[in-house]
């Protein structure tokens, strides 16, 4: 069996398991048959090699631009690299023999990252400041370009980058705060929640209708829309409940978490169920933290939280498996 065929079968059975179509025992049986020995190590080494080459190339370009002290020169160099990566990656990705499909997708995605950097440098070279709405606008424009590439070459990696750029261009950002602390922020949680809900609806429509019809070669695109939509929908609603926000948002967040569990059970879709359970647990922990952190010592707080988690886990497990005979 060709290595590319083994890779396709491995990805498909893994997707089936993640969607709840097959159980873990069947997944393990199929992976033993189709997964190549040492596949993970070989893939890791390949990605590390690509990353090292890309970073070394960028370091050389940055050194040249610094010596010339020209942002315009740096933009032109990085843009040239982006075009070269796109040309070479597109050839590998569209090769009928599919000898290097993952490498081609990675190079196309890296070309988009280079284009984003070139746009930023060009904006600086023209006298602009990397503040305000300039960077979000460039992120959205690059996201549109990435989405077009994804549909043109039927690649999921550029679509993943497009969704990241789209949501972060709308106003989601994170930063390192020092001392091992990270900060996340969404500029307008209500707008982000609406955009994420639209992404969820688009993902379902894409997956259940488009990918079974005119966009059969774009299999998996709907899943990306769905996962990103659920992630940012839950994050937006969670942020709306923090720091003394109105009780109405707490009720909405809780209702959405329960609703996802119900929808997941109805559609037999583990993605809805998984996000619902995780963020409902986060909701309960957040409420517990808000009401009892100041009333209890740290040790007592974590002891009670752990005991409650174990009790809930035992109850759910007994509800699911209690009627089965050994």
The pLDDT tens digits for 46-92 are 666 666 666 666 676 666 667 667 788 888 888 888 898 889 888 88
CB of 150 closer than 8 Å to CB of 158: yes
298's tokens: 């740290």
Q: What is the overall mean pLDDT for the chain? A: 81
pTM (2 d.p.): 0.75
Among residues 67, 61, 93, 98, which one has the least CA distance to residue 80? 61
Per-residue pLDDT tens digits for 244-263: 788 899 999 999 999 999 99
- pLDDT surpasses 90 at 201: yes
Burial class (CB in 10 A: 0-12, 13-18, 19+), 288: middle
Burial class (CB in 10 A: 0-12, 13-18, 19+), 207: buried
Per-residue pLDDT tens digits for 91-106: 887 777 766 777 777 7
């Amino acid at each position: 069996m060709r290595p590319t065929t083994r890779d396709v079968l491995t990805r498909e059975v893994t997707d089936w398991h993640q969607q709840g179509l097959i159980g873990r025992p069947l997944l393990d049986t199929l992976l033993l048959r189709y997964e190549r020995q040492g596949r993970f190590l070989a893939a890791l080494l390949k990605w590390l090699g690509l990353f090292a080459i890309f970073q070394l190339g960028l370091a050389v370009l940055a050194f040249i631009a610094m010596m010339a002290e020209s942002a315009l020169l740096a933009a032109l160099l990085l843009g040239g690299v982006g075009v070269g990566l796109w040309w070479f990656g597109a050839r590998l990705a569209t090769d009928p023999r599919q000898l290097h499909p993952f490498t081609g997708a990675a190079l196309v995605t890296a070309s988009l990252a280079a284009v984003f950097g070139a746009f930023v440098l060009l904006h600086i070279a023209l006298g602009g400041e990397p503040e305000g709405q300039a960077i979000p606008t460039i992120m959205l424009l690059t996201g549109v370009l990435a989405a077009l590439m994804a549909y043109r070459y039927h690649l999921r990696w550029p679509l993943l980058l497009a969704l990241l750029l789209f949501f972060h261009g709308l106003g989601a950002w994170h930063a390192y705060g020092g001392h091992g602390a990270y900060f996340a922020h969404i500029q307008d949680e209500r707008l982000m929640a609406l955009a994420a809900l639209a992404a969820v609806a688009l993902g379902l429509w894409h997956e259940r209708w488009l990918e079974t019809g005119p966009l059969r070669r774009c299999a998996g695109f709907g899943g990306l829309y769905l996962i990103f939509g659920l992630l940012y929908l839950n994050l937006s609603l969670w942020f709306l409940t923090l720091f003394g926000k109105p009780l109405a948002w707490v009720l909405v967040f809780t209702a959405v978490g329960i609703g996802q569990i119900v929808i997941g059970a109805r559609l037999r879709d583990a993605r809805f169920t998984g996000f619902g359970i995780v963020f409902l647990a986060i909701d309960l922990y957040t409420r517990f933290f808000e009401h009892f952190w100041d009333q209890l010592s740290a040790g007592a707080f974590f002891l009670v939280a752990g005991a409650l988690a174990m009790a809930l886990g035992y109850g759910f497990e007994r509800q699911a498996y209690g009627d089965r005979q050994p």
